[in-house]
Amino acid sequence: MHQAERRVVVTGLGTINPLADTIDGTWKALLDGESGIGPITQFDTTELKTKIAGEVTNFDSELFMPLRESRRLDRFSQLFVGASQLAFDHSGLKIRDDDDPLVGRAGVMAGVGFGGMVSFISQLDVLRERGPSRVSPLTIPMIIPNEAAGLASMRFNMQGPVSCVVTACAASAHAIGDAAEIIKRGTADVMLAGGAEAANCEFSMAAFNQAKALSTRNDDPASASRPFDRDRDGFVMSEGAAVLVLEERSHALERGANVYGELIGYGMSSDAYHVTLPRPGGAGAARAMTNAIEDAGIEPAQIDYINAHGTSTSANDATETVAIKLALGEAAGSAVISSTKSMTGHLLGAAGALESLVCLQAIATDVVPPTINLDNPDPECDLDYVPNEAREVEVKYAMTNSFGFGGHNVSLVFASGA
């Protein structure tokens, strides 16, 4: 049961993604309609159908940890620790020693889709080519998804609740919602919450290609991710991380923290339908949105902006459109909605955290980013998806949707306020 009046605010933001490694840089790129998608440079794509992705090209792990430490970590853990450091610094919190009461009242919740896939494939190659005695003794901590959360807790000496959510593309949204619940019930006062993904490799690309999920618009990478457009042909894989510092409101105000918004609604549901496809008719996704709006204590018509899951796949975009109509009713026709995956690509397990950050920036600036490449709207996707140009809109309440393989649906509602 939640303790009375325990509210959860956001006091820090950090991200490393294909557009930028700062909040301001990311936000400017989104409002300018820039694409972070390009030809793959990290591995040989000769035999792959898809040769494009969103790559983090500006990341230097040594800015966040010694080289010897970074070499022992998979890239997804490096990215999560880096984004966590940026968010922690942004929050103004200080790293505590064991005598500080906050040590046991602070924790980490990470959302990850795959974990250390690149390290897994690399060490599997070592096993096959050089034998079992040459497999790295650090393989297991490199590949397990929960390692990112554990590493962040070590970095900041957070000895409270620390865990990991693995629900595919809904993971980091789940992580943020679950972290907020931990604070509301009084188990912690501060939580780092977000996600990371670094699954760009030949194996994952081949697997998604075989599932016919990825765009093959290799000749024009910047236009490959085109949510809600009738010419969309699949999503674009991306890597990166995003982390929020969630804090109990009175704790934040007592220390004079800057408050960037409040998390007021968290809704979940399951499609209980198919291993990859959304339930036709959108009932499952709509239920997550309705649950979040009801948890927020507001009316559907009060949602000013929705950051859609908007993957650029045929099934998702049409189903999400129907689901928004079910959840918002008549208000869906006037809702302002966009998919920033058109610019960032799909960060899989980290997507929900990055898109939560977008919602908070929209609240702070009263501007919403566009859905780029929306040149020929799909008749089945007939809501206002803010095509191609950012728009000034008063945003008091913003909602983000995240849907994952397996039927996992999550919606989060953020509000302005201190």
Active site residues: 169, 309, 346
Q: Measured between alpha carbons, how far is 142 from 54 in angstroms, rounded to an integer? A: 22
Nearest-Å Rg of the Cα atoms of the chain is 20
Cβ atoms 210, 317 nearer than 8 A? no
Q: Residue 364 burial by CB count (10 A; 0-12/13-18/19+): exposed, middle or buried?
A: middle
Cβ atoms 15, 243 nearer than 8 A? yes
Contacts of 32 (CB under 8 A, 6+ apart): 390
The CB density around residue 272, as the number of other CB atoms within 10 Å, is 9
Q: Which residue has the tokens 């990166």?
A: 240
CA 409 vs. chain centroid, Å, equals 13
Cβ atoms 230, 379 nearer than 8 A? yes
- Structure tokens belonging to residue 340: 């920033």
Q: Residue 60 burial by CB count (10 A; 0-12/13-18/19+): exposed, middle or buried?
A: exposed
